[in-house]
Amino acid sequence: MSNKFYITTAIAYVNAAPHIGFAMETLEADCLARYHRMIGDEVWFLTGTDEHGSKIRNTAKEQGMTAQELADQNAPWFENLGALLNLSNDDFIRTTEPRHKLGAQKLWRKLVAAGDIYKSKYEGHYCVGCEAFVTAKDLVDGKCPEHNKEPELITEENYFFRLSKYSDLISEKIRSDEVKVLPESRKNEILSLCDEGLTDVSFSRPKDSLSWGVPVPDDEDQVMYVWCDALSNYITALGYGSSDESKFDKFWPADVHVIGKGILRFHAGIWIGMLLAAEMELPRAIYVHGYITSEGQKMSKSLGNTIDPFASVEEKNCDPVRYYLLREIPTTTDGDFSQDRFKVVYESELADNFGNLFSRVLTLTERFLESKVPEVVGDSLLMKAVKDAWIKYDEHIANFDLKKACEEAVRLGEISNQYIDEKKPWELIKADPASLSQVMYNLLEILRHIACMLYPFIPSTADRMLEALGVPQVYNEGGYVEFREWGVLKSGIKVKKIGVLFPKEK
Ligand SMILES: [Zn+2]
């Protein structure tokens, strides 16, 4: 029986080019989406762009265009990330689309009906970078630590969302893992914010200031606060508020929202509060990743050390970049993008461990077995290693530790390389042909397991590996394949030699 699995990324502001951190986030979500398709789930994977708010309006003004023009100019940049990184997203939402506005307004009306929207005069400090009012305790030396900028003082009459009312309930839902926040450190972080008591949130901006957003229903002088608008993309993309809500009925609640650590309180606080007020189902999990540094330093435009995902993929190719971001950068803490480290990981793991292994085994099969898979057998130690690896792999994926899941594939690669070196098939051909067949079957079948494990991480390489093994794809649409079992590779199948998977620099 197949389960539905709905996964989202945060949506990116379109005021600047896509950042390597957003590329990593989309890859993490892609890795999980592909894993869930592989195990037979019906997956819906959403990403998109956040096109409202002061940040967009200000940038557009600086560039002498309207906010909509800026959004239209930059949104394709983010949509193109999909092809660049081989993302398998099913939809891409832009918050300036009519479908989004309709749904955001429907949700707003629900909050009004719940009695949780009220009007009040407000004076406070606003960080445009965060698109949020900040208080003294959010600041370091009077500046927002995330953006290293002093916030603006703003006095306005706005609508407020009564988030304070839901503080205890949010805390309870998160504490009990009804909304599972991973890693544990982030769960504790949001719980301690709840303990301090969540405060009401300004949920609209007057239309006449530098605001740009979805109109507040029944008040033409106000637009929605950008976060109120942005968070609702997770339901509006499913057709919430449209004439056909069947996709929403099918896929909501989200199984996983993947986000960066800087926006945890918006998701685990405000978003959960909005859904509680609207009496809607809550997301089952929020997975929080860390940030990427560049050669050990925080990335910044002024240091000139930002990493452009487009340039990286052009230089290094898609799968090696995917592999580095998912396997080298720790999934839930900060990690570093370093050219030296990239080279080490590429050569030792991709080229030597996996690439070399596949080419050795397939070449030996061609040479000694006329490229045919021999009779199905199983070395008990190897079978146990594979079984244990899958158990750990599944556990790590469920705990949002993609790095460790990938390590299981690396370990199987190392075990296989050792096995070849010990068994020396090239000597067995004369000495013991029967045991040669057994050794080769064990190797070919373990390659298949490695390719399946790698599929969510480096899908096009994994597809090439599986094709070489005569297994056309890792999963069948609608049909579950017991790919974790031993002995799936059938005898008599023709394998093909594989070109160099990961060429080393000349
Ligand atoms: Zn900020």
Give the distance (Å) from ligand 1 centre to CA of residue 383.
52
Distance 144 CA to ligand 1 centre (A): 5
Task: For residue 16, give the 3-state DSSP assignment.
Answer: coil
Tokens read off for 283: 């997301």
pLDDT at residue 122, rounded to an integer = 85
CA of residue 27 to ligand 1 center, whole Å? 25
Q: Are strands 292-294 and 201-202 parallel, antiparallel or unpaired?
A: unpaired
* Alpha carbon of 307 to ligand 1 centroid (Å): 21
Rounded to whole angstroms, the Cα distance separating 381 from 392 reads: 17
- β-sheet bridge partners, residue 117: 161
Contact status, residue 5 vs residue 36, Cβ threshold 8 Å? yes
| Spans of all domains in the chain | 339-506
Q: Are strands 132-134 and 222-224 parallel, antiparallel or unpaired?
A: unpaired
Tokens linked to 229 = 């608008």
Among residues 355, 495, 369, the alpha carbon closest in space to that of 425 is found at 369
CA of 329 to the centre of ligand 1 (A): 24
The rounded Å distance from CA 258 to ligand 1 centre is: 20
CA distance 459 to 322: 9
Asked whether the beta carbons of 361 and 319 are under 8 A apart, the reply is no
Report the alpha-carbon angle 151-155-160, nearest 5. 95
Beta bridge partners of 122: 156
Compute the distance from residue 56 Cα to the ligand 1 centre, in Å.
Answer: 14
What is the whole-number distance in angstroms between the Cα of residue 147 and the centre of ligand 1? 5
Q: How far is the CA of 138 from the centre of ligand 1 (A)?
A: 9
Q: How far is the CA of 130 from the centre of ligand 1 (A)?
A: 4
Q: Is cis: bond before 456, omega within 30 of 0?
A: no
Q: Ligand 1 mean position to 103 CA, how many Å?
A: 28
- Where b means 16+ CB within 10 Å and e means fewer, 148-160 reads eeebeebebebbb
Q: Three-state SS for 285?
A: strand
Residue with tokens 């096995």: 419
**Quick one: CA torsion of 27, 30, 32, 33, rounded to 10 degrees?**
170
Outline where 63-206 has alpha helix (H): 67-85, 98-113, 167-175, 184-196
Query: What is the pLDDT, as a whole number, of residue 40?
Result: 87
Residue 492 CB contacts under 8 Å (≥ 6 apart), including other chains: 372, 373
47 Cα–ligand 1 center, Å: 23
Q: How far is the CA of 276 from the centre of ligand 1 (A)?
A: 27
Determine phi and psi for 399, rounding to 5 degrees: -95, 15
Neighbours of 327 (CB within 10 A): 24
Report CA(135)–ligand 1 centroid distance (Å): 11
What single-letter DSSP state applies at residue 329? S
Quick check: 255 and 7 in contact, CB under 8 A?
Answer: yes
For 339, other C-beta atoms within 10 Å of its C-beta total 11
Closest Cα to residue 7, out of 321, 238, 314? 238
Give the distance between the most distant pair of CA atoms in the chain: 89
Report the alpha-carbon distance of residue 40 to residue 290 in Å, rounded: 29
Q: Which among 400, 405, 495, 418 has a CA at the least distance from the CA of 455? A: 405
What pLDDT is recorded for position 479? Answer: 47
Superfamily of domain 339-506: Isoleucyl-tRNA Synthetase; Domain 1 (1.10.730.10)
Contact 156/139 with Cβ under 8 angstroms?
Answer: no
* Residue 30 near residue 328, CB atoms below 8 Å: no
| The pLDDT value given to residue 2 | 72
58 CA → ligand 1 middle, Å = 15
| pLDDT digits 0-9 by tens, 428-437 | 999 999 999 9
Is 219 in a helix, a strand, or coil?
coil
H or E element, residue 50? strand 42-50
Centre of ligand 1 to C-alpha 402, Å, is: 29
Question: What's the pTM value of the predicted model, to 2 decimals?
Answer: 0.96
Q: Can you give the pLDDT at residue 250? A: 98
Q: How far is the CA of 131 from the centre of ligand 1 (A)?
A: 7
- Where the chain has pLDDT below 50, the residues are 478-479
For residue 253, how far is its CA from the centre of ligand 1 (angstroms)? Answer: 29
CB within 8 Å of 144: residues ≥ 6 apart: 127, 129, 130, 134, 138, 150, 151
Distances in whole angstroms, Cα of residue 349 to Cα of each of 16, 357, 359: 34, 10, 14
